Structure 1
Amino acid sequence: MPGRPPATRPPPLPSMPGPGRRAAAPPPSRTRSPPSKAKPLPMRFSLLALLVLLLFSTCQRKTAGPAANDDAAATGKLRLAQVLRSIDEHRASAEWMDARARVDVESESFSIGGTAYIRLHRDEAIWMSVKKFGIEGARALIRPDSFFLYNRLQGEYIAEPLSYIEEKYKIPARFDLLQEIFFGNAVFLTDDLEVSRAEGAIRLTGRSREFATDYRYDPATYQLSSMQLQELGQNRSVSVSNADYATVDGLPVTFPRNRRVTVDGATEGTARMDMEFTDLSFSGPLEMPFTFRSPAP
C-alpha cells in the first residue's frame, strides 16, 4: 500500500498489568522445540484464524447506497435512522469478555480444529489460547497497534505491529473492528445505506466503485444474521454469519453462540472458520498471561 511505512519489529513483549502477574520473558529463539507426541498445531492455523477475522478491516471508506429521488431519499433516510437506532440499542458490548469456543479452520490446503480460550478487554487487548487434545498449541495477544503469536509446540514466535499484516497481506488491520466481530456486531454501518426487506429479514446494502456491503437482521429482535463485504476490484469477499442467540449473565442483550467467517479470494483461495462458544462470561478484570520458556538449545 503506497505511503505506508514499512513494518518494524516492536520491543520485547510487555506483560499485561495486573496483580501478581509475572514479567514477560525474552522472546524464544526461532529454533524448534523437541518433538512432541501430540500433533503440532501449525502456526498458519493461528495466523489464518487471525487473518480471517482481520479481513473485515479491508474497507476504510464509506460505502454509499444507490441513488434515489429526493422524496424517496427523505423517507428512506428516516427509516434507516430508525433501523440504525434499533440496531445500536441491541449491540453487544462489555468491558470484559471471557469465552471458550470450539474452533474449526478449513482452507484449500489444510483443515484443523481445536479449543480456543478468548479474553477481551475492550479497546485494550484481545488474548487467545488454542489447545488441541488438552495441550496448548498456540497463544496470541492483539493490541490496538500490535500482535503477538507463539506456537508453543514448535517454538515459533511472531511479534509485529499490525502494519505487518497490512504490508504482507494487503489488509488494513483495525483492532476496533476485530473486537466488534468478537462481540457479534456489524461493522461499517453508515447512514447512507439502502433499507429493504428480503426473505423475511431487514436488509441493509451499499455499493461504491470499490466495495459492496450486505447486512441481514432479524426484524423482531434486530439481531445480526449475516454480513458480507465484497472488494470488487480484488474479487475478494468476506462474510460473517451469526446463529443460536442466547441470553448470557452480565450482558444486557443476547449473544450469538455460533459464528462462521468465510473468506473467498481470487489469489488467496477460500478459507472458513467456525466458532461455537461453549462458555461465556462478561465480568472482569481478567489475566492475559503471555510468559513462556525458550526452548532448550
Structure 2
Amino acid sequence: MWSRLGPLLLIVLLAAGCKTKQKIVIPDKGAPVDVVSAHASEIKSFELSNLDFHTFSGRAKTRIELRDGAQDVTLNLRMERDKSIWVSVTAMLGVEVARVLITPDSIKILNKLQGEYISKPFDYVHKYTNKGITFPMLQDLLLANVSPVLLRTDMVQVASAEDEFLVVGIKDELSYKYRINKDNRPFNLSLQRIGANQSMEAYYSNYNKTAGYNFPLRITLNMAGDDFTLKSQMDFNKVEFNEKVELPFTIPARYKEVE
C-alpha cells in the first residue's frame, strides 16, 4: 500500500503502521422536506458562517480504508488561505513517510519510504476526484466550509426542516447536496459528477469552538470511482487558527520523479 501513498493522499485530501481493523461508521439521518427556490439572503447566511481564517494548523489521527486493507496514520495539516495546503504523514514511532504541498496551480508529493516524488499541475487531482474540484473547493472541504464556488449558480435550491437546511444544486457538471445544521455549519456534503461514476461524501461532526472558530473535530470522507473505493476518518486532537505556520518542502536530489 505504501507504494501508492502519493495518489492515496490526494484521494484523502479531497480527503502508517497497521492496527486492528475497525469499521468507520457513517452517520445516517433523515433528509428534510419542502424544497423551495433559494434566495440570496439564505445563501449569504451560510457563507457568513464559514471560517474566515488566515492560517490553519491541525493534527489528526487518521484511519484509511481501501478494498485491500486499512492503515492508521497521523496527519499534520497546515494551510495558508488561498495559497497552500501542506500535509505531513507519520506512521509508527513518529516516522514521517510522506509530505504533500498543494497550491492553486501545482501538486507536489514526497514518498519518503520509496525515495520518490511527484510534481504535477493542479488538475492531476482530477485523476482521483471529481473533475470540477478546484483549489478553493478543496480548501473548503477540509475546513467544513460551504463552498461559495458551488453556490454561485442559478441551479440551486434550499430546503428547511426543524433542525437542518438542505442545499442542492448543479455547478460545472457537479451535482451537490449540503446538509447544514442550525448553526449554519454543514454536517454532510455529497458530490456527484454528472454522467460519471465518481462520487464523494464528507461528514462533519464533533463541532468544537477553538479561538472562536466552530470546527468539526471529526471529518469522514467516503469516495468511490470506477476502480476504487475509499473511506477515511480524521479525528483532530490539535487545532489552531491564525498562528504562524511553516510549510517546508524540499525535494532531495537523490529522489526519483514518478510520472
Query: Structure 1 length as normaliser, TM-score?
Result: 0.70
CA gap 1:198/1:211 in 2 versus in 1, 3 angstroms: farther
Q: Helix, strand or coil: the match of 1:202?
A: strand
Deviations 1:1-42 (A, max 9, x none): xxxxxxxxxxxxxxxxxxxxxxxxxxxxxxxxxxxxxxxx71
After TM superposition, give the deviation of residue 232 of structure 1 in Å: 3.5
Root-mean-square deviation (CA), in Å?
2.8
Residue in 2 aligned with 1:201? 164
What runs of 5+ residues in structure 1 fail to find an aligned partner? 1-40, 56-71
Residue in 2 aligned with 1:271? 230
Q: Within 2, Cα distance between the matches of 1:247 and 1:217?
A: 17
What runs of 5+ residues in structure 2 fail to find an aligned partner? 16-34
CA gap 1:163/1:202 in 2 versus in 1, 3 angstroms: closer
Matched residues, percent identical? 29
Deviations 1:89-115 (A, max 9, x none): 210131111111112111213321200
How many equivalent pairs are there? 233
Residue in 1 aligned with 2:24? none
Q: Within 1, Cα distance between the matches of 2:185 and 2:174?
A: 24
Aligned partner (choices 67, 72, 77) of residue 108 of structure 1: 67
Deviations 1:252-283 (A, max 9, x none): 43111110111122x12321111111101113
Tell me, yes or no, if the aligned pair for 1:163 and 1:172 is still in contact at 8 Å: no
Residue in 1 aligned with 2:208? 246
Aligned partner (choices 108, 116, 137) of residue 148 of structure 1: 108
Q: How does 1:171-250 map to 2 (within 5 A)?
A: 171-187=131-147, 188-190=150-152, 192=154, 193-198=156-161, 200-206=163-169, 210-219=173-182, 221-249=183-211
Higher percent of residues as strand: 2
Tell me, yes or no, if the aligned pair for 2:84 and 2:101 is still in contact at 8 Å: yes
Rg: which structure is higher?
A: 1
CA gap 1:105/1:208 in 2 versus in 1, 3 angstroms: same
Query: Structure 2 length as normaliser, TM-score?
Result: 0.79
Q: Which has the higher contact order (CA 8 A, sep 6+)?
A: 1
CA gap 1:253/1:281 in 2 versus in 1, 3 angstroms: closer
Q: Helix, strand or coil: the match of 1:47?
A: helix
CA gap 1:43/1:178 in 2 versus in 1, 3 angstroms: farther
Residue in 1 aligned with 2:50? 91
